[in-house]
Amino acid sequence: MNVYSIPMALMDLLPVALFLAGNLLIWKDLGGKMSFASRSFYLTGIVLAVAAGFIKAHYKLLCAVGIGDIEWMSRQFFPNQSLGFLLAGAGLLLSLVSRKKKNKEYRTYAFLPPMALVGLMIIGETCMYIALGIYAAKLKKPAATVMLVISYILSLGMGYLSSRDFGTEAMNWLAQTVNACSQGSFLAAVWIMHKAGLGKEAAG
């Protein structure tokens, strides 16, 4: 059974909360302008990614308080997070090019090799950050661009750390500190764009 402290488990919730807050702002500004397909991809991806992080944090909390090692709560994290980022990124990219395309039905398959999941996560995150970077450029907000670049680099670092051994608490603290800084930068970038009129830019 993995051993985690309660503070470590609670630390896991911080990047999840920051990521959710940033995406709620994106949804507030862009949700009403997205096509059905774009909304479907984006929301499905965000729900998957947030749920994956939330469940993983609670897995650590259950271990910390001695309730037990519920293995599926840990093993679901990587597949769901990877597919979540991929879908969210696709949704944001679609929001740039079209708001009227008809939706199609898609099915996802999460049982993929770890390196394939890393690839999906990188592709999805890259799509998200490219789309947001274009929005930042349109809004003429270089500070948002800088924060997005910082967040993206840290996120790639977190992706690498996710493939390492998380059996030690020190490794967990390192990974979640990097993750929290990444999502904090993400939230800062989205907040700058939100205040600059992201919703109006999308409507235009």
| Of the candidates 152, 194, 142, the residue with the CA atom closest to the CA atom of residue 31 | 194
Q: Are 99 and 35 in contact (CB under 8 A)?
A: yes
> Looking at the whole model, is its pTM more than 0.75?
no
Question: Which tokens hold the place of 25?
Answer: 């702002």
pLDDT given for residue 99 in this prediction = 57
pLDDT given for residue 106 in this prediction = 36
| Of the candidates 45, 27, 46, 39, the residue with the CA atom closest to the CA atom of residue 193 | 27
pLDDT given for residue 102 in this prediction = 43
Would you give the end-to-end CA distance of the chain in angstroms? 54
Question: Which tokens hold the place of 137?
Answer: 């450029």
Question: Which tokens hold the place of 187?
Answer: 């939230």
- CA 49 vs. chain centroid, Å, equals 6
pLDDT given for residue 145 in this prediction = 95
pLDDT given for residue 204 in this prediction = 60
As a whole number of angstroms, the distance between CA 169 and CA 79 comes to 22
As a whole number of angstroms, the distance between CA 17 and CA 99 comes to 28
- Sign of torsion over alpha carbons 144, 16, 9, 149: negative
Question: Which tokens hold the place of 161?
Answer: 């750390």
Tens-binned pLDDT, residue by residue, of the chain (204 aa): 567 788 888 888 899 999 999 999 999 888 888 888 888 899 999 999 999 999 998 888 888 888 877 888 888 888 888 889 999 998 888 888 765 444 443 344 444 566 666 677 788 888 889 999 999 999 999 999 999 999 999 988 876 676 665 566 777 788 888 888 999 999 999 999 999 988 876 666
As a whole number of angstroms, the distance between CA 203 and CA 172 comes to 41
